[in-house]
A and B are shown apart, each in its own frame.
Chain A
Amino acid sequence: MEPRDTPLRAVHERLGATMTEFAGWLMPLRYGSETAEHHAVRNDAALFDLSHMGEIAVTGPGAGAALDYAVCGWPSALAVGRAGYTMLCAPDGGVLDDLIIYRQSADDFLVVANAANTAVVLAELRERCGGAEVTDLSTTVGLISIQGPNAPGRLSPITVLMPPADDLAGMRYYSGAYGTVAGRQAWVARTGYTGEDGFEIFCAVSDCEPVWDALAGAGAGGGTDVGTGAGLAAAGLSVRDTLRLEAGMPLYGSELGPDITPYEAGLGRVVRLDKPGDFVGRAALAERAAAGPRRTLVGLVMKSRRVPRHGYPVVSGAVTDVVGSVVVGGVVVGGVVVGGVVVGGVVVGTVTSGGPSPSVGAPIAMAYVAADAATGPLSIDVRGSVEPALVTELPFYDRRKRR
């Protein structure tokens, strides 16, 4: 099947993007140097086309209560204009998708789903949300994200928020408001997936290109007092992944999936067992909460330059242990065989996400490891070569702790 085009396809082509198929969409992977795009987000600001994300409206007087039953969070407790990070779980507690839900008015909620899961989320919400109207907006709503410390200064000059919202600078993290960007109607929210300050702009598909162009040019012709006066950089999916990895944010399909509960992902706080009433997955999740996780998500910083990647085995013990393994006639004494490779430790887990980290300056990874091995020492089997890693607290990068 041909991948779908976002409303910004022509913009990406004009910018010379390398395109890739992702979740059924043709998306910009990178525009030029990934390292430059990564640093643009960390030090200035950059634009992302996220039009592949799914947008689903859940509306009506019963919408809050319906969502409370459908997801493991507590959407009805959100104040109007606030957002919540939550998950759609299966009855067994496994994660079907992670979501951001915005309360746009008392009876209007906007649910944002991962592109690959939009159909599943839509079907589940339709089934679970009796008493509310569930509408798929994915084909009519586009999403442009501006992320980076200069995002407020870049976006403010072309944005007008509707009362009672304050100006952009006064908008709290995980909040949103209706307004206009470059004169086009939009829902503007202070959310993102990069670990930086930033905003997500939901607007009509037909308004995406003018909004993007206005943002890309913001500062070019004066009118703002930020940055160098140059146009705004675009950033692709490749650095969206390194940015969110540095920020310790989970990616569905890597850290999250149907065989993982929020507790293993270190996200037990999103499960609101304290909310009234039943919700899908409650019994299983309550059991999990009481039992404690069998495996833990850890952060690993490589001591070498080899890049750990999704699926690589995590081995207990430092590399010095490996030297001690002895092979006698093809039988391993004092070690185990991993994918045909003899190592000294045992496999205690698997890398879920890994990549180079421009901000840390070394390759990094998140991995699920057996709870009793999580304190390390740990190494990663990089295609047969056991490379030592340092167990680190997540996130790898925290903008509030920046020097």
Chain B
Amino acid sequence: MSIPAELRYTAEHEWVAIAGETATIGITDYAAQALGDVVYVSLPTVGTTVTAGDPCGEVESYKSVSELYCPVDGEVTEVNEELDDDPGLINAEPYGLGWMFRVRLTSGGADTPGLLSPTEYEELSKSTS
């Protein structure tokens, strides 16, 4: 199970990459493995204002449907349209081609409450597995 050191994480098994004012968001390797093959993903619409902790989409696998939560405050600027045709990218490259959406940060950024360091996330995923 891979947990890249340069990312932030959430207790909902999502990752956040913050570069300047932009946050890129996806689900972790752990989440992708726990779900099995992702078959459909519903993402927030570009232009939507999102609030940290609020549900903003869904991830469907063979056996389950899981809510996607927005880990930061901001405005959705881009969604990964490749996932529409190939949701399996989420399993193949959860931290790469399987990214889900981007948010222009309005507050908080890396200091948003609830974001976890790689070490904290590793402990959390160990305790839940």
Contacts and interface: CB of A to CB of B under 8 A. Distances in A.
Q: State yes or no: do A and B come from one complex.
A: yes
A238 interface: yes
Contacts of B17: none
Contact of B62 (A305, A306, A355, A383): A355
Interface string A28-45: 011001110000000000
B115 to A, nearest CB: 28
What is the interface residue range for chain B against chain A? 10 to 19
B12 interface: no
Given A33-B91, A35-B88, A307 B36 contact: no
B40 interface: yes
Contact of A356 (B33, B34, B39, B91): B39
Nearest to B40: A305
A306 B60 contact: yes
B126 interface: no
A18 interface: yes
Nearest to B91: A33
A82 interface: no
B46 interface: no
Q: Which of B33, B37, B39, B60 has the most CB of A within 10 A?
A: B37
Contact of B39 (A30, A239, A307, A383): A307
A18 B65 contact: no
A30 B32 CA distance: 13
Contact of A238 (B36, B40, B65): B36
Interface in B47-100: 60, 62-63, 65, 84, 88, 91
A309 interface: yes
B40 A35 contact: no
B63 A29 contact: yes
Contacts of B40: 305-307, 356, 363
Interface in B18-46: 33-34, 36-37, 39-40, 42
A29 B91 CA distance: 17
Contacts of B37: 33-35
Q: Which of A29, A35, A238, A356 has the most CB of B within 10 A?
A: A356
B41 to A, nearest CB: 9
A261 interface: no
Interface string A207-248: 000000000000000000000000000000011001000000
Given A30-B36, A34-B36, A238 B62 contact: yes
B90 to A, nearest CB: 12
A305 B59 CA distance: 12
Q: Which 10 A-B pairs have the closest CB atoms?
A: A356-B39, A34-B37, A305-B40, A34-B62, A307-B60, A238-B62, A35-B37, A34-B36, A33-B37, A30-B36
Interface of B: 33-34, 36-37, 39-40, 42, 60, 62-63, 65, 84, 88, 91
10 contacts: A30-B62, A33-B91, A34-B36, A239-B62, A305-B84, A306-B40, A355-B62, A356-B39, A356-B62, A363-B39
Interface of A: 18, 29-30, 33-35, 238-239, 242, 305-307, 309, 355-356, 363, 383
